[in-house]
Every structure is written in C-alpha cells, then in structure tokens.
C-alpha cells in the first residue's frame, strides 16, 4: 500500500520510492565559501560545484554564497564566477544558457572582514532569506577555504552570530575545513578546541582531497568486495607495504608556505597516513562512516610513535638540489622563490612504521613523499613473501615476490605481478603483470575528488573525511620526527638531485622501494 495521504504530517513521497538511483542530491542547501576570492575557490571549488550542477548532482534548490575580503556585490561576484568558469571549464561545459542563468541567480556575495561579527550577521540574514525564497530549507554548509590562521576566527564568529545551528531547529549546519589541520600537534589541538566549542564532531568535515580520489575509495572495494585478497592480507603473506606520493614538480609558487611546512607535514601527516590506515585497517562491520573511521583510528592507534632516539633509524629526509627533469635543467630547492638560501626544510620524507597488532606484527610499512623526484606517481605496493620452496632449479634466481600495486595517480588502477613460465622446452620463469586501469576497465574518467567530497558533505556522509582522533593520532606519529628534524640541521642538504629517486638515506631506510 503506497498511496495514502500522510496523516501524521510526515512528508513521505511515494514517487520517490524505487526511483532509479539518482545522482542528484535531494536535500536542498546553501553552501557558504569563506575565502571565495582565493585561489582554491577559483581553481577547484567553483568548477567542482558548477560541474555538479551540469551533471545533475547538485540539489535543485541550492544557493552559493561567497564570503571574502574582496569588494564585490552579488552581480560583480556572478560575473567573476562566470569569468573563472569560462577559463576553467572545458568546451561544452562553459557557463551558458538556462542552466547558467539558474545557477547565477543562486550566487550571492558578502564582502566581509572575517573579524567583524556584523558581517556574519549579514550572512545569517541572507541565509534566512534564501531558505525562504530559494527553498534551501535551513541546510547550511560552511566551507572554510581561507588561509589556516583564519579557521578559528571564522568558527568563533559563526558562533557569535548564531550560525552554529539553525535557530528554528530545522535543517542542518555543517562545516568543511581544508587542510592543513594545524601545523603541529599543539596547534591542531588548539584549533580542535575552538571547533569543539561550536560544532559537534558529527558536523565537522575535515577535507583531505586525496580521499576523494576514486582509486583511494577502491582500496575498500578491493579489500572487502573480493574474497581473494583478505585471507592473505596479513603478516603471514605480506613481506612489506610501501606507500609513495612522489611529485616531479618543485614547490612552484608555494615556496613561502612550503619552507615552513616540508614534506612530512605537507603529505605524510595527512594523505599518506590516511592511505596507510585504509590499507591496514580491520574489516569494518558496515560501510557506515563511523564504522570505517573507527577501524582507521584503531589501526593508527596500533602504531607506536617513535622515541626520539629511534627517529634516525625509522626515517630519512632529503632536499633536492639542481638537476634535470624531462631534459630540462631545474633549480635546487634553496634557489626557489621565497625559500631561505640555507633552508633546512625537507622536500623528501620517508618513514618506516610498524603496526603492533595481530595482523601486521613485524611487517614494515614504509611511507615516502617528495618533490622533484624522477616521476609523478602515487601508489601503494604490497609485496608478498617469497615462495617457501624453489623447485625450478637453475632458473629460480629469477623468481620474484608477488606484488600488488594500487595505482592512485597519474595512472589509476590495480596491477598484480606474478610469475609465469616462459614458453619453450626449458623451465624458465619470468615476472608478468596483470594490469587493470580505470580508463580502459570502465572507460570513464574518474570524477574530480572535490565533486565527490562536496557532494558527500551535503549528503552528510563523513566516510571520506578525517575524524579528529585520526588527525590527532597522525600528528602524534609524525611529531617525534618533526621535532628531531627541526632541532637538528641536516648538513648533507641538498642530498638528492632533482629528477632522481631521492636521497641515499631513503634506500638505507628501506632498500626495496619500487623504482620511480
């Protein structure tokens, strides 16, 4: 029985039941972008939202509000958005026609001083007006795309203006916080304390765009939607796990930021440790966000932070000097703009963690990330143990361990290395690869991570966002290394040429890195 008018005031819509799964997010909402005149909004967030509109995933009833220092009015900001989209969207997806017209009339702007609570009151009034006129139903997503020092200021002002929750008690309020979440353990805790005063954890979405990448999400599918991997996913079969996030570019225009951050803060503490958690976690009991996030937190808890005197043997750091990439001479890190000429900042970091639990005891997890390396590649490599008995005689020297490679970027897919007999009368065995690529396997280009993550935030799905306990634990894991490195100058810097495999100390830490 489906077609009875609801008698209890509920809003069950029988036309929704059984509809083919729609990509469109049903819940209406307003998205407020703090820092809307900045680079992140222009390059990533605005194109992601408009692309969601074009592909029909954005709710029909929505509003986009820019909140930043630049002096625009609504119309001026609409023009700015259109100009940015003209540049960033590909042919066929430019802002035009009825879809753009409808999108544009839902764009608003508040020229604001982040410290002035009156500007937040203006925002509150605008949101209330949109809830009435555009049907955004009291659902408000606050997206902090500002420089990190402004995060606590915005959070405090939201509270002061009464924007931490809807006064009419309908709708939801959520906050998306860009990385970096703090610059060290202490500052992350300070920021978290400020957030705690205003928003419950269920309303906080700490974004790590790496987690929005399709192959990262596929780690869960690979492990838990197949029967063949999980039985061998443990210390009995796995020799080691290596996670690489290598870039061939340098610091570009980010020298001033990067010289205070370094590779460990910039990549390992967030992206790479998140990958480790997904690879090593126990099977969650469900696909619910907290079921997965509980397992991630548990496995990070099973890693003991290094003692200070252990740092030297569980880590390696490097800094690139001049070199050659793609046939072009490139300068060294210390010659980059806005970088100190005697900088001690690492542009390469590698760490080796041990997970002290039943599954992984004794299996090294080796993580590395760096700039100006030979090749841009992000991947997870699971190396299995060698065969227990070699019966092939003379050719057995060629037998190599099986590898499972989860390719994250630029290639996206999964490759498996195994041994096969070379055709012929003699028993020669050689390594071959079984290679699955998303491009050829499904023939589709993975959607940009930001589209997925913004959509998930509107839907209220926190699975791909990092919970505070995992953020805090990740900081705890890197803190001893950060402290030792910052208190001791590495006189070997620069210790690897641009375009190379990284410093020799990384090979000493772990000799079996896959070649970049």
Partner 1 sequence: MSLDLRPAIAELNECREREHMDVNLMTLVAFFEDEAVGKWMRDRLAALAAKDPARVIVMDGTQPEGVQKVGAEWVELGLRGSDPETLRSAVASLSLPQAPIVLVWAGLRAGEDPRFSALSPLAQTIVYNSSALGTDESGLRQLVAFERAHPEMVVSDVAYLRLAPWQESVALFFDGKNVIRELFDLRRVEITSGSAAEAYYLLGWLASRLEWKPCARHRFCNRFGTEIEFALAHEGPARRIRRIALHSSQSHFVAELQPGAPGTIVLTVSGAAEIPERSHPLIDAGTAALIERAILAGSKDRIFHDTLAAASEILAQAEQ
Q: Is the dihedral of CA 358, 359, 363, 368 positive or negative?
A: negative
Q: What residues have CB less than 8 Å from 411, skipping those under 6 apart? A: 377, 437
Q: Which is nearer to partner 1, 76 or 439 (CB)?
A: 439
Smallest distance from partner 1 to CB 52, Å: 10
The Cα–Cα gap between 205 and 463 comes to 10
Alpha helices in 228-283 (DSSP H): 255-261, 263, 273-280
Which residues face 383 on adjacent strands?
A: 240, 403
The Cα–Cα gap between 516 and 514 comes to 6
Give the strand pairing for 496-497 and 320-321: parallel
Q: Which is nearer to partner 1, 54 or 504 (CB)?
A: 54
Q: Which is nearer to partner 1, 328 or 440 (CB)?
A: 440
Q: Which is nearer to partner 1, 415 or 484 (CB)?
A: 415
List residues with catalytic annotation.
271
CA angle at 241 for the pair 236 and 243, rounded to the nearest 5°: 165
Smallest distance from partner 1 to CB 383, Å: 23
Task: Judge contact between 433 and 416, C-beta under 8 A.
Answer: yes
Smallest distance from partner 1 to CB 232, Å: 23
Nearest CA-CA partner of 406 in 247, 270, 210: 210
Smallest distance from partner 1 to CB 438, Å: 11
Binding site for partner 1 (CB under 8 A): 1-6, 9-20, 22-24, 26, 53-56, 60-61, 97-99, 101-102, 133-135, 434-436, 440-444
Give the strand pairing for 173-177 and 29-34: unpaired
Q: Which is nearer to partner 1, 115 or 170 (CB)?
A: 170
Q: What is the CA radius of gyration of the chain?
A: 25
CA distances from residue 113 to 80, 110, 124, 140 in whole angstroms, order as listed? 20, 9, 15, 20
Tell me 70's DSSP state. Answer: S
Q: Which is nearer to partner 1, 324 or 432 (CB)?
A: 432
Smallest distance from partner 1 to CB 402, Å: 18
What are the φ and ψ backbone dihedral angles of 175, each rounded to 5 degrees? -130, 130
Smallest distance from partner 1 to CB 46, Å: 17
């Amino acid at each position: 029985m489906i077609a009875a008018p609801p008698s209890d005031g509920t809003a069950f819509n029988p036309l929704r039941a059984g509809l083919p799964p729609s990509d469109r997010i049903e819940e209406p909402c307003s998205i407020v972008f703090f820092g809307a005149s900045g680079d992140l909004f222009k390059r990533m967030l605005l194109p992601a939202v408009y692309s969601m509109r074009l592909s029909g995933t954005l709710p029909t009833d929505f509003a986009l509000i820019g909140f930043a220092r630049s002096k625009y009015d609504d119309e001026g900001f609409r023009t700015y958005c259109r100009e940015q989209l003209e540049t960033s969207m590909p042919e066929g997806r430019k802002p035009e026609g009825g879809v753009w017209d409808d999108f544009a009339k839902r764009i608003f702007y508040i020229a604001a001083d982040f410290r002035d609570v009156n500007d937040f009151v203006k925002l509150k009034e605008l949101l209330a007006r949109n809830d009435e006129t555009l049907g955004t139903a009291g659902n408000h997503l606050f997206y902090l795309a500002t420089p990190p020092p402004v995060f606590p200021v915005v959070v405090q002002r939201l509270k002061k203006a009464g924007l931490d929750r809807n006064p009419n008690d309908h709708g939801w309020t959520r906050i998306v916080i860009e990385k970096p979440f703090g610059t060290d353990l202490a500052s992350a805790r300070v920021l978290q304390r400020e957030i705690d005063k205003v928003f419950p954890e269920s309303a906080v979405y700490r974004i790590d765009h790496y987690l929005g990448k399709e192959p990262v999400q596929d780690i869960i599918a690979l492990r838990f939607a197949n029967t063949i991997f999980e039985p061998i996913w443990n210390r009995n079969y796995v020799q080691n796990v290596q996670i690489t996030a290598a870039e061939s570019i340098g610091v570009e225009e980010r020298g001033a930021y990067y010289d205070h951050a370094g590779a460990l803060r910039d990549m390992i503490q967030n992206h790479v440790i998140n990958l480790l958690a997904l690879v090593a976690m126990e099977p969650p009991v469900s696909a619910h966000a907290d079921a997965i996030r509980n397992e991630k937190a548990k496995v990070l808890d099973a890693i003991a932070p290094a003692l200070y005197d252990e740092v030297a043997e569980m880590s390696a750091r490097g800094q690139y000097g001049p070199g050659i990439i793609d046939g072009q001479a490139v300068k060294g890190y210390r010659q980059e703009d806005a970088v100190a000429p005697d900088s001690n900042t690492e542009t390469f970091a590698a760490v080796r963690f041990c997970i002290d639990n039943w599954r992984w005891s004794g299996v090294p997890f080796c993580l590395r990330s760096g700039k100006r390396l030979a090749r841009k590649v992000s991947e997870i490599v699971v190396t299995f143990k060698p065969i227990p008995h070699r019966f092939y005689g003379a050719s057995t020297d060629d037998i190599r361990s099986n590898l499972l490679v989860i390719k994250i970027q630029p290639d996206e897919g999964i490759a498996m290395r195994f041994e096969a007999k070379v055709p012929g009368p003699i028993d020669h065995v050689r390594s071959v690869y079984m290679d699955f690529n998303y491009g050829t396997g499904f023939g589709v280009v993975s959607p940009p991570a930001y589209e997925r993550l913004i959509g998930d935030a509107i839907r209220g799905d926190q699975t791909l966002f990092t919970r505070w306990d995992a953020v805090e634990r990740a900081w705890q894991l890197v803190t001893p290394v950060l402290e030792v490195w910052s208190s001791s100058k590495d006189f070997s810097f620069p210790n690897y040429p641009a375009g190379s495999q990284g410093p020799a100390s990384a090979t000493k830490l772990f000799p079996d890195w896959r070649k970049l």
